[in-house]
Structure 1
Amino acid sequence: MDWRQVLPPLCRSRIETRFAPAGEDLPAGSSKFGGRPDVPAGFVWPVFETKTFDGEEGKPRPLAFLAQFDCARLAELDPEGLLPRTGLLSFFYELGSQRWGYDPKDAGCARVFWFDGEPVAPAEFPRDLEEDFRLPELAAELSGGTDAPDFQDACLALDYPFTANDYRFFDQARRELGYAYPDNRSQLLGWPDIIQNNMTLECELVSRGYYLGGSWESVPQEERDALRAPSVQDWRLLFQLDTVASGDFELMFGDCGRIYFYIRKEDLLARRFDRAWLVLQCM
Protein backbone atom coordinates (compact mmCIF):
# COMPACT_ATOMS: atom_id res chain seq x y z
CA MET A 1 0.00 0.00 0.00
CA ASP A 2 1.24 3.50 -0.84
CA TRP A 3 0.60 5.25 2.47
CA ARG A 4 1.54 8.63 1.03
CA GLN A 5 -1.56 8.42 -1.15
CA VAL A 6 -3.82 6.78 1.41
CA LEU A 7 -3.17 9.03 4.43
CA PRO A 8 -4.34 12.48 3.21
CA PRO A 9 -8.01 11.46 2.70
CA LEU A 10 -8.06 10.06 6.26
CA CYS A 11 -6.89 13.31 7.86
CA ARG A 12 -9.10 15.18 10.32
CA SER A 13 -9.03 18.71 11.70
CA ARG A 14 -7.78 19.14 15.25
CA ILE A 15 -7.67 22.03 17.72
CA GLU A 16 -4.29 22.09 19.42
CA THR A 17 -4.36 23.30 23.01
CA ARG A 18 -1.44 24.75 24.95
CA PHE A 19 -1.71 25.92 28.54
CA ALA A 20 0.29 28.82 29.99
CA PRO A 21 0.05 31.19 32.97
CA ALA A 22 -2.60 33.80 32.31
CA GLY A 23 -0.85 36.74 33.96
CA GLU A 24 -4.23 38.12 35.09
CA ASP A 25 -7.65 36.88 36.16
CA LEU A 26 -9.48 35.29 33.26
CA PRO A 27 -13.02 36.48 32.50
CA ALA A 28 -15.85 34.01 33.11
CA GLY A 29 -16.29 31.70 30.15
CA SER A 30 -12.66 31.81 29.06
CA SER A 31 -10.90 28.75 27.67
CA LYS A 32 -8.59 27.49 30.39
CA PHE A 33 -7.09 24.64 32.39
CA GLY A 34 -7.80 24.37 36.10
CA GLY A 35 -8.90 27.06 38.48
CA ARG A 36 -12.57 27.20 39.39
CA PRO A 37 -14.97 26.08 36.68
CA ASP A 38 -17.47 28.57 35.34
CA VAL A 39 -20.92 27.05 35.75
CA PRO A 40 -24.58 28.13 35.69
CA ALA A 41 -26.65 28.56 38.83
CA GLY A 42 -27.78 25.27 40.32
CA PHE A 43 -24.81 23.28 39.04
CA VAL A 44 -24.23 20.10 41.05
CA TRP A 45 -20.55 19.20 41.32
CA PRO A 46 -20.05 15.64 39.96
CA VAL A 47 -18.80 12.85 42.24
CA PHE A 48 -17.65 9.28 41.65
CA GLU A 49 -17.63 6.49 44.23
CA THR A 50 -14.19 4.90 44.31
CA LYS A 51 -11.14 3.95 46.32
CA THR A 52 -7.88 5.80 45.71
CA PHE A 53 -4.29 4.76 45.08
CA ASP A 54 -3.67 5.13 48.81
CA GLY A 55 -6.11 2.30 49.51
CA GLU A 56 -8.67 4.48 51.22
CA GLU A 57 -12.22 3.21 51.55
CA GLY A 58 -14.57 3.53 48.64
CA LYS A 59 -16.78 6.59 48.94
CA PRO A 60 -18.17 9.36 46.73
CA ARG A 61 -15.34 11.69 45.75
CA PRO A 62 -15.59 15.01 43.89
CA LEU A 63 -14.17 14.98 40.38
CA ALA A 64 -11.37 17.42 39.67
CA PHE A 65 -12.07 20.18 37.19
CA LEU A 66 -9.62 19.83 34.30
CA ALA A 67 -10.47 22.35 31.60
CA GLN A 68 -13.16 24.39 29.88
CA PHE A 69 -13.40 25.79 26.36
CA ASP A 70 -15.30 28.71 24.88
CA CYS A 71 -17.28 27.08 22.06
CA ALA A 72 -17.45 30.29 20.02
CA ARG A 73 -13.65 30.26 19.83
CA LEU A 74 -13.60 26.53 19.05
CA ALA A 75 -16.04 27.09 16.17
CA GLU A 76 -13.44 29.20 14.37
CA LEU A 77 -11.08 26.19 14.36
CA ASP A 78 -13.62 23.44 13.65
CA PRO A 79 -14.30 23.39 9.88
CA GLU A 80 -16.30 20.15 10.15
CA GLY A 81 -18.75 21.83 12.54
CA LEU A 82 -18.65 18.96 15.02
CA LEU A 83 -18.55 21.03 18.21
CA PRO A 84 -21.21 23.40 19.55
CA ARG A 85 -20.91 26.95 18.23
CA THR A 86 -21.96 28.60 21.50
CA GLY A 87 -21.62 27.95 25.21
CA LEU A 88 -18.91 26.35 27.29
CA LEU A 89 -17.54 22.80 27.13
CA SER A 90 -16.12 21.56 30.45
CA PHE A 91 -14.19 18.41 31.45
CA PHE A 92 -13.91 16.72 34.87
CA TYR A 93 -12.02 13.60 36.05
CA GLU A 94 -11.50 11.80 39.37
CA LEU A 95 -7.76 12.14 39.97
CA GLY A 96 -7.46 10.15 43.19
CA SER A 97 -8.06 6.85 41.41
CA GLN A 98 -7.26 7.73 37.78
CA ARG A 99 -9.49 5.02 36.37
CA TRP A 100 -8.49 3.58 32.99
CA GLY A 101 -11.84 3.15 31.31
CA TYR A 102 -11.65 -0.59 30.56
CA ASP A 103 -14.34 -1.42 33.10
CA PRO A 104 -18.03 -0.55 32.65
CA LYS A 105 -17.95 0.37 36.34
CA ASP A 106 -15.68 3.30 35.42
CA ALA A 107 -18.77 5.13 34.14
CA GLY A 108 -18.88 8.48 35.93
CA CYS A 109 -15.16 8.71 36.69
CA ALA A 110 -15.03 11.45 34.05
CA ARG A 111 -17.76 13.87 32.97
CA VAL A 112 -18.25 16.35 30.16
CA PHE A 113 -20.69 19.26 30.49
CA TRP A 114 -21.99 21.70 27.90
CA PHE A 115 -23.34 24.90 29.41
CA ASP A 116 -25.30 26.98 26.93
CA GLY A 117 -27.86 29.74 27.17
CA GLU A 118 -27.32 30.56 30.86
CA PRO A 119 -24.94 32.98 32.59
CA VAL A 120 -21.93 31.26 34.18
CA ALA A 121 -19.80 32.24 37.17
CA PRO A 122 -16.90 30.59 39.05
CA ALA A 123 -18.02 27.73 41.28
CA GLU A 124 -16.69 27.17 44.76
CA PHE A 125 -14.68 23.98 45.20
CA PRO A 126 -16.39 21.25 47.25
CA ARG A 127 -15.01 21.19 50.77
CA ASP A 128 -14.00 17.54 50.42
CA LEU A 129 -12.05 18.07 47.18
CA GLU A 130 -8.41 17.52 48.10
CA GLU A 131 -6.10 20.50 47.78
CA ASP A 132 -3.88 18.64 45.31
CA PHE A 133 -6.87 18.29 42.99
CA ARG A 134 -7.65 22.01 42.96
CA LEU A 135 -5.55 22.63 39.89
CA PRO A 136 -3.86 25.95 39.12
CA GLU A 137 -5.50 28.16 36.53
CA LEU A 138 -3.75 28.35 33.16
CA ALA A 139 -4.93 30.09 30.02
CA ALA A 140 -5.63 27.92 26.96
CA GLU A 141 -3.98 28.94 23.71
CA LEU A 142 -5.84 27.36 20.79
CA SER A 143 -4.73 26.80 17.20
CA GLY A 144 -6.02 24.77 14.28
CA GLY A 145 -4.22 21.93 12.57
CA THR A 146 -4.61 18.71 10.61
CA ASP A 147 -4.11 15.23 11.99
CA ALA A 148 -3.24 11.95 10.32
CA PRO A 149 -4.25 8.76 12.12
CA ASP A 150 -1.88 6.46 13.94
CA PHE A 151 -1.07 3.16 12.21
CA GLN A 152 -3.67 1.13 14.07
CA ASP A 153 -6.47 3.63 13.51
CA ALA A 154 -5.51 3.96 9.83
CA CYS A 155 -5.68 0.19 9.33
CA LEU A 156 -9.07 0.02 11.02
CA ALA A 157 -10.41 2.95 8.99
CA LEU A 158 -9.36 1.12 5.81
CA ASP A 159 -10.32 -2.35 7.10
CA TYR A 160 -6.73 -3.31 6.33
CA PRO A 161 -4.79 -6.00 8.26
CA PHE A 162 -1.94 -4.97 10.56
CA THR A 163 1.54 -6.04 9.50
CA ALA A 164 4.84 -5.09 11.11
CA ASN A 165 6.44 -4.40 7.73
CA ASP A 166 3.68 -2.00 6.76
CA TYR A 167 4.22 -0.05 9.95
CA ARG A 168 7.74 0.86 8.86
CA PHE A 169 6.49 2.26 5.53
CA PHE A 170 3.54 3.95 7.23
CA ASP A 171 5.81 5.76 9.68
CA GLN A 172 8.07 6.93 6.88
CA ALA A 173 5.12 8.24 4.86
CA ARG A 174 3.71 10.03 7.89
CA ARG A 175 7.01 11.86 8.44
CA GLU A 176 7.34 12.74 4.74
CA LEU A 177 3.84 14.24 4.76
CA GLY A 178 4.70 16.38 7.79
CA TYR A 179 2.54 14.64 10.39
CA ALA A 180 5.00 14.51 13.27
CA TYR A 181 4.44 12.59 16.50
CA PRO A 182 4.68 15.31 19.18
CA ASP A 183 6.26 14.66 22.55
CA ASN A 184 3.42 16.47 24.26
CA ARG A 185 0.12 17.60 22.81
CA SER A 186 -3.30 18.26 24.22
CA GLN A 187 -6.06 18.74 21.66
CA LEU A 188 -9.73 18.64 20.80
CA LEU A 189 -10.93 16.52 17.87
CA GLY A 190 -8.57 15.06 15.29
CA TRP A 191 -6.95 11.66 15.77
CA PRO A 192 -5.46 10.52 19.08
CA ASP A 193 -1.74 10.12 19.66
CA ILE A 194 -1.91 6.47 20.71
CA ILE A 195 0.47 5.23 23.41
CA GLN A 196 -0.64 1.59 23.57
CA ASN A 197 -3.43 0.33 21.30
CA ASN A 198 -6.46 1.51 19.35
CA MET A 199 -9.16 2.79 21.72
CA THR A 200 -12.32 2.95 19.62
CA LEU A 201 -12.98 -0.78 19.80
CA GLU A 202 -12.39 -0.62 23.55
CA CYS A 203 -14.97 2.17 23.86
CA GLU A 204 -17.50 0.20 21.84
CA LEU A 205 -17.04 -3.04 23.78
CA VAL A 206 -17.09 -1.39 27.21
CA SER A 207 -20.26 0.45 26.21
CA ARG A 208 -21.76 -3.00 25.56
CA GLY A 209 -20.91 -4.08 29.10
CA TYR A 210 -17.67 -6.00 28.54
CA TYR A 211 -14.90 -5.84 31.14
CA LEU A 212 -11.59 -5.49 29.28
CA GLY A 213 -9.07 -5.59 32.12
CA GLY A 214 -7.68 -8.98 31.06
CA SER A 215 -7.11 -10.54 27.67
CA TRP A 216 -10.66 -9.79 26.42
CA GLU A 217 -11.48 -13.49 26.74
CA SER A 218 -15.10 -12.61 27.54
CA VAL A 219 -15.61 -11.02 24.11
CA PRO A 220 -16.51 -13.44 21.28
CA GLN A 221 -13.96 -13.19 18.48
CA GLU A 222 -16.66 -12.75 15.86
CA GLU A 223 -18.04 -9.75 17.75
CA ARG A 224 -14.60 -8.15 17.96
CA ASP A 225 -14.05 -8.69 14.24
CA ALA A 226 -17.45 -7.27 13.32
CA LEU A 227 -17.03 -4.12 15.43
CA ARG A 228 -13.36 -3.39 14.78
CA ALA A 229 -13.65 -1.29 11.59
CA PRO A 230 -17.01 0.42 12.34
CA SER A 231 -15.78 1.52 15.78
CA VAL A 232 -13.13 3.85 14.34
CA GLN A 233 -15.83 5.65 12.34
CA ASP A 234 -18.46 5.71 15.10
CA TRP A 235 -16.25 6.87 17.98
CA ARG A 236 -14.46 10.22 17.75
CA LEU A 237 -11.79 11.77 19.91
CA LEU A 238 -13.34 14.69 21.77
CA PHE A 239 -10.42 15.77 23.99
CA GLN A 240 -6.91 14.46 24.56
CA LEU A 241 -5.08 15.78 27.64
CA ASP A 242 -1.36 15.25 27.91
CA THR A 243 0.91 16.05 30.85
CA VAL A 244 0.36 19.63 32.00
CA ALA A 245 3.30 21.41 33.62
CA SER A 246 3.83 24.99 34.74
CA GLY A 247 6.44 26.15 37.22
CA ASP A 248 6.42 23.70 40.15
CA PHE A 249 3.12 22.17 39.06
CA GLU A 250 2.83 18.97 37.02
CA LEU A 251 -0.17 16.79 36.29
CA MET A 252 0.75 13.46 34.72
CA PHE A 253 -1.52 10.51 34.01
CA GLY A 254 0.09 7.22 34.99
CA ASP A 255 3.66 6.93 33.69
CA CYS A 256 3.99 9.64 31.02
CA GLY A 257 0.43 8.96 29.91
CA ARG A 258 -2.57 10.79 28.51
CA ILE A 259 -6.31 10.70 29.03
CA TYR A 260 -8.70 10.62 26.09
CA PHE A 261 -12.36 11.58 26.09
CA TYR A 262 -14.17 9.71 23.31
CA ILE A 263 -17.74 10.10 22.10
CA ARG A 264 -19.81 8.55 19.33
CA LYS A 265 -20.16 10.95 16.41
CA GLU A 266 -23.96 10.76 16.58
CA ASP A 267 -23.88 11.69 20.27
CA LEU A 268 -21.45 14.53 19.59
CA LEU A 269 -23.74 16.02 16.95
CA ALA A 270 -26.76 15.56 19.23
CA ARG A 271 -24.80 17.24 22.10
CA ARG A 272 -25.22 14.21 24.35
CA PHE A 273 -21.96 14.82 26.17
CA ASP A 274 -23.09 12.70 29.09
CA ARG A 275 -22.31 9.70 26.85
CA ALA A 276 -18.59 10.50 26.50
CA TRP A 277 -16.17 7.81 27.66
CA LEU A 278 -12.69 8.20 29.12
CA VAL A 279 -9.63 6.05 28.39
CA LEU A 280 -6.24 6.39 30.08
CA GLN A 281 -3.06 5.11 28.40
CA CYS A 282 0.51 5.35 29.59
CA MET A 283 3.95 3.86 29.03
Structure 2
Amino acid sequence: MISSVLTGGRPPERNTAMDWKNILPQLYRSRIDTRFVSHSEQLAVGASKFGGRPDVPTDFVWPVFETDTREDDQVKERPLAFLAQFDCAQLAALDKEGLLPHEGVLSFFYELGSQRWGYDPKDRGCAQVFWFKGPLAPAEFPAELEEEFRLPELAAELSGAADAPDFQDACPALEYPWTANDYRIFDQARRELGMDYPANRSQLLGWPDIIQNNMTLQCELISRGHYLGGSWENIPMEERSALRTPSVREWQLLFQLDTVENGDFELMFGDCGRIYFYIRREDLAQRRFDRVWLIQQCC
Protein backbone atom coordinates (compact mmCIF):
# COMPACT_ATOMS: atom_id res chain seq x y z
CA MET A 1 0.00 0.00 0.00
CA ILE A 2 1.08 3.58 -0.55
CA SER A 3 0.42 5.64 2.53
CA SER A 4 -0.59 9.27 2.74
CA VAL A 5 2.99 9.95 3.78
CA LEU A 6 3.85 9.34 0.12
CA THR A 7 1.04 11.46 -1.24
CA GLY A 8 1.36 14.76 0.49
CA GLY A 9 1.36 13.95 4.20
CA ARG A 10 3.25 16.38 6.43
CA PRO A 11 6.90 15.34 6.84
CA PRO A 12 8.29 15.11 10.37
CA GLU A 13 10.13 18.06 11.86
CA ARG A 14 13.92 17.81 11.94
CA ASN A 15 13.95 17.99 15.74
CA THR A 16 11.44 15.15 15.99
CA ALA A 17 12.85 11.63 16.14
CA MET A 18 11.50 9.47 13.34
CA ASP A 19 9.52 6.49 14.62
CA TRP A 20 10.75 4.21 11.88
CA LYS A 21 9.16 1.07 13.29
CA ASN A 22 5.69 2.58 12.90
CA ILE A 23 6.39 4.57 9.74
CA LEU A 24 8.00 1.82 7.67
CA PRO A 25 4.90 -0.42 7.42
CA GLN A 26 3.07 2.54 5.88
CA LEU A 27 5.63 2.48 3.07
CA TYR A 28 5.33 -1.23 2.30
CA ARG A 29 4.86 -2.27 -1.30
CA SER A 30 3.99 -5.62 -2.80
CA ARG A 31 7.01 -7.54 -4.13
CA ILE A 32 7.14 -10.64 -6.33
CA ASP A 33 10.24 -12.71 -5.63
CA THR A 34 11.67 -14.70 -8.53
CA ARG A 35 13.89 -17.77 -8.21
CA PHE A 36 15.36 -19.35 -11.32
CA VAL A 37 15.77 -23.12 -11.15
CA SER A 38 16.51 -26.09 -13.40
CA HIS A 39 13.55 -27.93 -14.91
CA SER A 40 13.20 -31.42 -16.35
CA GLU A 41 10.02 -30.96 -18.40
CA GLN A 42 9.52 -28.66 -21.36
CA LEU A 43 8.09 -25.31 -20.32
CA ALA A 44 4.80 -24.22 -21.82
CA VAL A 45 4.80 -21.37 -24.32
CA GLY A 46 4.51 -18.13 -22.38
CA ALA A 47 5.68 -19.66 -19.10
CA SER A 48 7.66 -17.55 -16.65
CA LYS A 49 11.36 -18.26 -17.12
CA PHE A 50 14.92 -17.02 -17.37
CA GLY A 51 16.83 -17.38 -20.62
CA GLY A 52 16.20 -19.81 -23.41
CA ARG A 53 14.32 -18.55 -26.45
CA PRO A 54 11.71 -15.84 -25.86
CA ASP A 55 8.10 -16.55 -26.77
CA VAL A 56 7.05 -13.84 -29.22
CA PRO A 57 4.37 -12.95 -31.81
CA THR A 58 5.00 -13.61 -35.50
CA ASP A 59 5.80 -9.95 -36.28
CA PHE A 60 8.44 -9.64 -33.55
CA VAL A 61 11.64 -7.85 -34.55
CA TRP A 62 14.59 -8.75 -32.30
CA PRO A 63 15.82 -5.56 -30.56
CA VAL A 64 19.31 -4.21 -31.24
CA PHE A 65 21.46 -1.47 -29.71
CA GLU A 66 24.31 0.40 -31.39
CA THR A 67 27.37 0.18 -29.18
CA ASP A 68 30.90 -1.03 -28.72
CA THR A 69 31.53 -3.66 -26.03
CA ARG A 70 34.06 -4.40 -23.35
CA GLU A 71 35.75 -6.81 -25.78
CA ASP A 72 35.27 -4.99 -29.10
CA ASP A 73 35.87 -1.29 -29.86
CA GLN A 74 33.76 -1.36 -33.03
CA VAL A 75 30.48 0.55 -32.70
CA LYS A 76 27.72 -1.34 -34.46
CA GLU A 77 24.21 -2.69 -33.96
CA ARG A 78 24.24 -5.64 -31.58
CA PRO A 79 21.31 -7.88 -30.63
CA LEU A 80 20.09 -7.59 -27.06
CA ALA A 81 20.22 -10.72 -24.94
CA PHE A 82 16.92 -12.19 -23.79
CA LEU A 83 16.94 -12.20 -19.98
CA ALA A 84 13.54 -13.35 -18.77
CA GLN A 85 9.81 -13.46 -19.41
CA PHE A 86 6.87 -13.59 -17.03
CA ASP A 87 3.33 -14.89 -17.48
CA CYS A 88 1.16 -11.94 -16.43
CA ALA A 89 -1.76 -14.17 -15.47
CA GLN A 90 0.54 -15.91 -12.98
CA LEU A 91 1.77 -12.57 -11.65
CA ALA A 92 -1.75 -11.22 -11.09
CA ALA A 93 -2.39 -13.21 -7.91
CA LEU A 94 0.86 -11.87 -6.39
CA ASP A 95 0.52 -8.28 -7.57
CA LYS A 96 -1.47 -6.93 -4.62
CA GLU A 97 -1.49 -3.36 -5.93
CA GLY A 98 -2.71 -4.42 -9.38
CA LEU A 99 0.08 -2.61 -11.19
CA LEU A 100 0.87 -5.19 -13.87
CA PRO A 101 -1.19 -6.44 -16.81
CA HIS A 102 -3.32 -9.50 -16.02
CA GLU A 103 -2.78 -11.14 -19.40
CA GLY A 104 0.04 -11.68 -21.84
CA VAL A 105 3.78 -11.98 -21.28
CA LEU A 106 6.33 -9.41 -20.10
CA SER A 107 9.75 -9.94 -21.70
CA PHE A 108 13.04 -8.31 -20.67
CA PHE A 109 16.09 -7.76 -22.89
CA TYR A 110 19.53 -6.19 -22.24
CA GLU A 111 22.74 -5.71 -24.23
CA LEU A 112 25.22 -7.81 -22.29
CA GLY A 113 28.38 -7.07 -24.26
CA SER A 114 28.52 -3.46 -23.10
CA GLN A 115 26.43 -3.71 -19.91
CA ARG A 116 25.55 -0.02 -19.95
CA TRP A 117 25.06 1.59 -16.53
CA GLY A 118 22.19 3.90 -17.37
CA TYR A 119 23.82 7.21 -16.44
CA ASP A 120 23.87 8.54 -20.01
CA PRO A 121 20.75 9.53 -22.01
CA LYS A 122 22.48 7.79 -24.93
CA ASP A 123 22.00 4.47 -23.10
CA ARG A 124 18.34 4.49 -24.13
CA GLY A 125 17.61 1.24 -25.92
CA CYS A 126 20.31 -0.84 -24.23
CA ALA A 127 17.49 -2.47 -22.27
CA GLN A 128 13.98 -3.05 -23.59
CA VAL A 129 10.75 -4.50 -22.24
CA PHE A 130 7.94 -5.95 -24.35
CA TRP A 131 4.37 -6.84 -23.45
CA PHE A 132 3.09 -9.53 -25.77
CA LYS A 133 -0.53 -10.59 -26.13
CA GLY A 134 -2.11 -13.17 -28.40
CA PRO A 135 -0.53 -16.29 -29.92
CA LEU A 136 3.19 -16.70 -29.23
CA ALA A 137 5.93 -19.05 -30.38
CA PRO A 138 9.63 -19.45 -29.50
CA ALA A 139 11.85 -17.06 -31.48
CA GLU A 140 15.05 -18.10 -33.20
CA PHE A 141 18.19 -16.39 -31.95
CA PRO A 142 19.64 -13.88 -34.41
CA ALA A 143 22.83 -15.13 -36.02
CA GLU A 144 24.67 -12.04 -34.73
CA LEU A 145 23.89 -12.84 -31.08
CA GLU A 146 27.03 -14.28 -29.53
CA GLU A 147 26.79 -17.75 -28.03
CA GLU A 148 27.69 -16.56 -24.54
CA PHE A 149 24.66 -14.25 -24.60
CA ARG A 150 22.24 -17.07 -25.45
CA LEU A 151 21.38 -17.78 -21.84
CA PRO A 152 20.35 -21.21 -20.54
CA GLU A 153 16.67 -21.72 -19.86
CA LEU A 154 15.62 -21.87 -16.21
CA ALA A 155 12.12 -22.06 -14.77
CA ALA A 156 10.92 -19.15 -12.62
CA GLU A 157 9.45 -19.85 -9.19
CA LEU A 158 7.40 -16.89 -7.98
CA SER A 159 6.23 -15.86 -4.52
CA GLY A 160 4.79 -12.70 -3.01
CA ALA A 161 5.92 -10.66 -0.01
CA ALA A 162 5.65 -7.23 1.56
CA ASP A 163 8.64 -5.01 0.90
CA ALA A 164 10.10 -2.06 2.80
CA PRO A 165 12.30 0.62 1.25
CA ASP A 166 15.99 0.97 1.89
CA PHE A 167 17.14 4.06 3.79
CA GLN A 168 18.12 5.84 0.56
CA ASP A 169 14.52 5.64 -0.69
CA ALA A 170 12.66 6.03 2.60
CA CYS A 171 14.11 9.44 3.48
CA PRO A 172 13.29 11.22 0.20
CA ALA A 173 9.89 9.51 0.12
CA LEU A 174 9.11 11.21 3.42
CA GLU A 175 10.96 14.46 2.67
CA TYR A 176 12.99 13.64 5.76
CA PRO A 177 16.32 15.49 6.17
CA TRP A 178 18.29 12.57 7.56
CA THR A 179 21.57 12.49 9.43
CA ALA A 180 24.11 9.69 9.72
CA ASN A 181 22.68 8.65 13.09
CA ASP A 182 19.26 8.09 11.52
CA TYR A 183 20.55 5.14 9.52
CA ARG A 184 21.40 3.16 12.65
CA ILE A 185 17.88 3.66 14.03
CA PHE A 186 16.33 2.89 10.64
CA ASP A 187 18.38 -0.27 10.24
CA GLN A 188 17.40 -1.56 13.68
CA ALA A 189 13.70 -0.89 13.05
CA ARG A 190 13.81 -2.56 9.64
CA ARG A 191 15.41 -5.68 11.06
CA GLU A 192 12.94 -5.81 13.97
CA LEU A 193 10.14 -5.75 11.39
CA GLY A 194 11.66 -8.83 9.76
CA MET A 195 12.75 -7.04 6.59
CA ASP A 196 15.99 -8.70 5.61
CA TYR A 197 18.83 -7.41 3.45
CA PRO A 198 19.28 -10.28 1.01
CA ALA A 199 22.66 -11.22 -0.42
CA ASN A 200 20.91 -12.14 -3.66
CA ARG A 201 17.36 -11.33 -4.76
CA SER A 202 15.65 -10.95 -8.12
CA GLN A 203 12.15 -9.52 -8.02
CA LEU A 204 9.32 -7.73 -9.76
CA LEU A 205 7.84 -4.55 -8.24
CA GLY A 206 8.36 -3.60 -4.60
CA TRP A 207 11.33 -1.49 -3.54
CA PRO A 208 14.84 -1.98 -4.94
CA ASP A 209 17.62 -3.55 -2.93
CA ILE A 210 20.03 -0.64 -3.30
CA ILE A 211 23.77 -1.23 -3.55
CA GLN A 212 24.91 2.38 -3.90
CA ASN A 213 22.41 5.27 -3.87
CA ASN A 214 18.80 6.16 -4.63
CA MET A 215 18.06 5.61 -8.33
CA THR A 216 14.74 7.37 -8.90
CA LEU A 217 16.33 10.82 -8.97
CA GLN A 218 18.84 9.47 -11.46
CA CYS A 219 16.00 8.20 -13.66
CA GLU A 220 14.26 11.57 -13.55
CA LEU A 221 17.36 13.63 -14.27
CA ILE A 222 18.38 11.44 -17.19
CA SER A 223 14.85 11.66 -18.60
CA ARG A 224 15.44 15.43 -18.66
CA GLY A 225 18.63 15.02 -20.68
CA HIS A 226 21.27 15.22 -17.94
CA TYR A 227 24.46 13.15 -18.25
CA LEU A 228 25.35 11.66 -14.85
CA GLY A 229 28.58 9.84 -15.63
CA GLY A 230 30.73 12.46 -13.92
CA SER A 231 30.16 15.16 -11.36
CA TRP A 232 26.60 16.30 -10.67
CA GLU A 233 27.83 19.85 -9.97
CA ASN A 234 26.56 21.05 -13.35
CA ILE A 235 23.00 20.19 -12.27
CA PRO A 236 21.57 23.00 -10.13
CA MET A 237 21.05 21.98 -6.51
CA GLU A 238 17.60 23.56 -6.65
CA GLU A 239 16.59 21.23 -9.47
CA ARG A 240 17.94 18.15 -7.71
CA SER A 241 16.23 19.06 -4.44
CA ALA A 242 12.91 19.81 -6.14
CA LEU A 243 12.87 16.46 -7.97
CA ARG A 244 14.14 14.13 -5.24
CA THR A 245 10.85 13.38 -3.45
CA PRO A 246 8.59 13.44 -6.55
CA SER A 247 10.94 10.99 -8.26
CA VAL A 248 10.45 8.38 -5.51
CA ARG A 249 6.69 8.70 -5.88
CA GLU A 250 6.65 8.67 -9.68
CA TRP A 251 9.25 6.05 -10.61
CA GLN A 252 8.48 2.40 -9.86
CA LEU A 253 10.86 -0.56 -9.86
CA LEU A 254 9.59 -2.97 -12.50
CA PHE A 255 12.23 -5.72 -12.39
CA GLN A 256 15.41 -6.24 -10.40
CA LEU A 257 17.80 -8.92 -11.65
CA ASP A 258 20.61 -10.15 -9.43
CA THR A 259 23.40 -12.61 -10.21
CA VAL A 260 21.98 -15.81 -11.70
CA GLU A 261 23.85 -19.06 -11.01
CA ASN A 262 23.02 -22.60 -12.05
CA GLY A 263 25.63 -25.34 -12.22
CA ASP A 264 28.58 -24.00 -14.23
CA PHE A 265 26.58 -21.01 -15.48
CA GLU A 266 26.85 -17.55 -13.92
CA LEU A 267 25.51 -14.20 -15.09
CA MET A 268 26.87 -11.34 -12.99
CA PHE A 269 26.53 -7.61 -13.53
CA GLY A 270 29.77 -5.79 -12.78
CA ASP A 271 31.21 -6.82 -9.41
CA CYS A 272 28.34 -8.63 -7.64
CA GLY A 273 25.92 -6.07 -9.02
CA ARG A 274 22.29 -5.88 -10.07
CA ILE A 275 20.34 -4.32 -12.91
CA TYR A 276 17.12 -2.44 -12.25
CA PHE A 277 14.37 -1.75 -14.77
CA TYR A 278 12.44 1.38 -13.73
CA ILE A 279 9.26 2.83 -15.18
CA ARG A 280 7.08 5.80 -14.28
CA ARG A 281 3.87 4.72 -12.58
CA GLU A 282 1.84 6.61 -15.17
CA ASP A 283 3.63 4.79 -17.99
CA LEU A 284 3.10 1.46 -16.24
CA ALA A 285 -0.62 2.16 -15.92
CA GLN A 286 -0.76 3.02 -19.64
CA ARG A 287 1.38 -0.07 -20.52
CA ARG A 288 4.06 2.10 -22.13
CA PHE A 289 6.84 -0.38 -21.51
CA ASP A 290 8.97 1.24 -24.21
CA ARG A 291 9.68 3.99 -21.65
CA VAL A 292 11.57 1.87 -19.13
CA TRP A 293 14.99 2.99 -17.93
CA LEU A 294 17.72 0.61 -16.79
CA ILE A 295 20.30 1.30 -14.10
CA GLN A 296 23.15 -0.96 -13.07
CA GLN A 297 24.76 -0.80 -9.64
CA CYS A 298 27.54 -2.93 -8.21
CA CYS A 299 29.84 -3.13 -5.20
Q: In which range does the TM-score fall when normalised by the shorter chain?
A: over 0.9
| SS in structure 2 at match of 1:48 | strand
Corresponding residue for 2:261?
A: 245
Corresponding residue for 2:176?
A: 160
In percent, how many aligned pairs have the same letter? Answer: 76
**1:56 maps to 2:76:** no
Give the TM-score of the pair, scaled to structure 1: 0.99
- The 2-side partners of 1:24 and 1:130 are apart by 26
Pick the aligned partner of 1:84 from 89, 101, 124.
101
| SS in structure 2 at match of 1:172 | helix
Contact 1:152 1:162 in 2 (8 A): no
**1:208 maps to 2:236:** no
User: Deviation above 6 Å: which 4+ runs of structure 1?
Assistant: none
Equivalent residue pairs, number: 282
- The 1-side partners of 2:137 and 2:234 are apart by 46
Deviation at 1:266, TM superposition (A): 0.3
**1:269 maps to 2:291:** no
Listed one character per residue, the Cα deviations across residues 131-158 of structure 1 (whole Å, up to 9, x for unaligned) are 0000000000000001000001000110
Q: For structure 1, list consecutive stretches of 5 or more residues without a partner in the other structure.
A: none
**1:122 maps to 2:141:** no
- The 1-side partners of 2:292 and 2:122 are apart by 14
- The 1-side partners of 2:79 and 2:73 are apart by 15
- The 1-side partners of 2:233 and 2:292 are apart by 25
**1:137 maps to 2:153:** yes
Contact 1:147 1:179 in 2 (8 A): yes
Corresponding residue for 1:260?
A: 276
Pick the aligned partner of 2:56 from 39, 50, 66.
39
**1:106 maps to 2:123:** yes
| SS in structure 1 at match of 2:186 | helix
- The 1-side partners of 2:98 and 2:179 are apart by 35
- The 2-side partners of 1:42 and 1:139 are apart by 25
Tell me how large the CA RMSD over aligned residues is: 0.6
The residue type equivalent to 1:211 in the other structure is Y
The residue type equivalent to 1:225 in the other structure is S
The residue type equivalent to 1:92 in the other structure is F
Deviation at 1:223, TM superposition (A): 0.5
- The 2-side partners of 1:164 and 1:213 are apart by 26
Deviation at 1:161, TM superposition (A): 1.2
Contact 1:210 1:218 in 2 (8 A): no
The residue type equivalent to 1:144 in the other structure is G
Pick the aligned partner of 1:148 from 151, 159, 164.
164
- The 1-side partners of 2:215 and 2:168 are apart by 10
